[in-house]
Amino acid sequence: MTNPTTTVLAAGSELNEERIVALLKRTAPFEPLSDQRLREVASIATPVYLKKGDLIYTVDERSDDVYVIATGTVEHALGPSAQATQLVKIVGEADVIGWAALLKNKPARLAKTTCLQDCEVLRINGQHLIEILAHDEASGREVMTCFAKMLMNEFTVPAWLSQVQELPRKVKVGADGLETANLTGVSLTMFRIAQWLKSPRPYLMLLGFTIFIGLWYLLSEGWHVWRFDRLPGPVEVWEEWTSRNPVYGISLFTPEYYTHIWYSVRRIAEAFFLATLLGVPFGLFLGWSRKFREYTFPIFETLRPIPILAWVPLAILMFSGTETPVIFLTTLASFFATALNTMLGVESIDESYPRAASCLGASKWQVFRHVVIPGALPHMFTGLQISVGVAWFSLVAAEMVSGQYGLGYLIMTSYTMVSYPTIIIGMATLGIVGYITSAMVRIAGDQMMQWRVRELALGGSQ
């Protein structure tokens, strides 16, 4: 067998730059590139001549290069470690192989490729190709997306295996004289904030709040509409909230205000942690094991509709003190939302993926770890966002009944003390803190599911 790294194209070959560019235009991955970018790719492409029976590469070899077939046909046989359902494929002119060079964390070849007849191929270094694609971010990402789509569709490789490398993010700044910069960390966050401020979204949001507060003012303080004339208006609430000497004792300048916030946030953190720790594994097993579900799901569905307030007497009987019952009630409500959405996430996974992995020799634990858990993540984090919201209103109900300190306790005691502006202050604080905690869960989900962004792009979503 002849190694292609030492067999360069014969001098009489017609694979010149123009023919290489024309060949690249016909390939699915490189089609989006402009003529200029195609010439740059052609400049790093090394033509190689191979004879019938020669190996281009084999399983477990180092994967540095991508290959484009110029003439002839090649047998592309994936090894068992690739976990694909279509293991052998015959590829010919204008087909692309060697895509493992573009995969994340895959330094070794996944397939054995053998020439079925005399062949001419182009050898393109993967890292050099990525550098060229980074010069034109839009079309470069189209190329990488096309590679990922080809892996999942043509070779039916699972999504978790076909994650291609990300292009370096280059953004034009211009105003400060910097033409391009790789944005990461704080710089990337600031760039996204700047892009958000340039969009109409923040101004539409501001308009919505303005309309809401304006209607509130007109109904309560301006027109004194019946049913609203006894409610404190936005001016009265704002003056109380920002006063250094509040009439009702609670404002931004009183330590007691932050004590209530701290108690509620701490309770939410403890309850959300416990609900996630218990609810995620429970939901995974509900969706994964039919026998486990038959035993437990009827009990789960019987307990889930019971309102949290109905649990208050039992919580007080079961747990001593005032703190533990509040944590129990909050955890219980959050647990149901987390477990149910996690179970739905497992059920949403295409059955062909676990079946294909099992047929290729994967153990139940490997299928559970590499297929079930990643596949359930989108629903799981949706459930966690719902869960943290459920935890907040459950916490308020629990604090009203058996709590001491906390925003729910503040709202209830303000009502009994006829401190109506303080009720609105507590409610507004709940909304702000609850929004922040939901956003934190959403950001954590985005960081853990970068592959989801690519998958949505393949479906035409952004």
Helix (H, G, I), strand (E, B) or coil at 177: coil
Query: For the range 442-446, what are the long-range contacts, defined as Cβ-Cβ under 8 Å and sequence gap of 24 or more?
Result: 442/381, 442/385, 444/381, 445/377, 445/381, 445/384, 445/385
Quick one: how far is CA 121 from the chain centroid?
A: 38
State the pLDDT at residue 411.
92
Q: Which two tokens stand for residue 72?
A: 């002839």
Is the Cβ–Cβ distance between 418 and 429 less than 8 Å? Answer: no
Tokens 């270094």, residue located = 125
Side-by-side strand order, sheet with 96-97: 45-50, 119-125, 65-71, 96-97
Helix (H, G, I), strand (E, B) or coil at 69: strand
- What count of other Cβ atoms lies within 10 Å of the Cβ of residue 213? 14
φ, ψ at 123 (rounded to 5°) = -105, 120
Quote the pTM value: 0.59
Dist CA 143 CA 318 (whole Å) = 60
State the pLDDT at residue 247.
92
Residues of the chain with confidence (pLDDT) below 50: 1-13, 160, 171-185, 453-462
Helix pair angle (255-288, 290-303), 10° resolution: 140
Is the Cβ–Cβ distance between 267 and 395 less than 8 Å? Answer: yes
Question: Going by DSSP bridges, is the β-strand pair 74-78/45-50 parallel, antiparallel, or unpaired?
Answer: unpaired
Is the Cβ–Cβ distance between 149 and 458 less than 8 Å? Answer: yes
SS (H, E, C) 397-444: HHHHHHCCCCHHHHHHHHHHCCCHHHHHHHHHHHHHHHHHHHHHHHHH
User: Torsion over CA of 84, 88, 94 and 96, rounded to 10 degrees?
Assistant: 40
Alpha helices, H only, 154-254: 185-198, 201-217, 234-241
SS (H, E, C) 341-400: HHHHHHHCCCCHHHHHHHHCCCCHHHHHHHHHHHHHHHHHHHHHHHHHHHHHHHHHHHHH
State the pLDDT at residue 152.
63
Closest CA to 250 of 5, 422, 459, 61: 422
Dist CA 51 CA 16 (whole Å) = 20
State the pLDDT at residue 188.
52
State the pLDDT at residue 328.
93
Dist CA 126 CA 117 (whole Å) = 25
Largest CA distance in the chain: 97
Closest CA to 92 of 110, 109, 111, 67: 67
DSSP conformation class of 33: S
Report the b/e string of 140-154 with b at 16+ CB within 10 A.
Answer: bbbbbbbbbbbbbee
Closest CA to 97 of 60, 170, 150, 140: 150
φ, ψ at 97 (rounded to 5°) = -130, 175
State the pLDDT at residue 109.
81
Show the domains of the chain with their CATH numbers. 4-153 (2.60.120.10), 232-458 (1.10.3720.10)
Closest CA to 247 of 423, 422, 407, 412: 422
Phi-psi domain of 250 (left: phi exceeds 0; alpha: psi -120 through 50; beta: other): beta
- Burial class of residue 227, CB neighbours in 10 A (0-12, 13-18, 19+): exposed
Dist CA 285 CA 294 (whole Å) = 11
CA distances for 96 relative to 12, 84, 85, 359, angstroms: 24, 17, 19, 27
- What count of other Cβ atoms lies within 10 Å of the Cβ of residue 67? 25
Q: Which two tokens stand for residue 12?
A: 């009489």
State the pLDDT at residue 79.
66
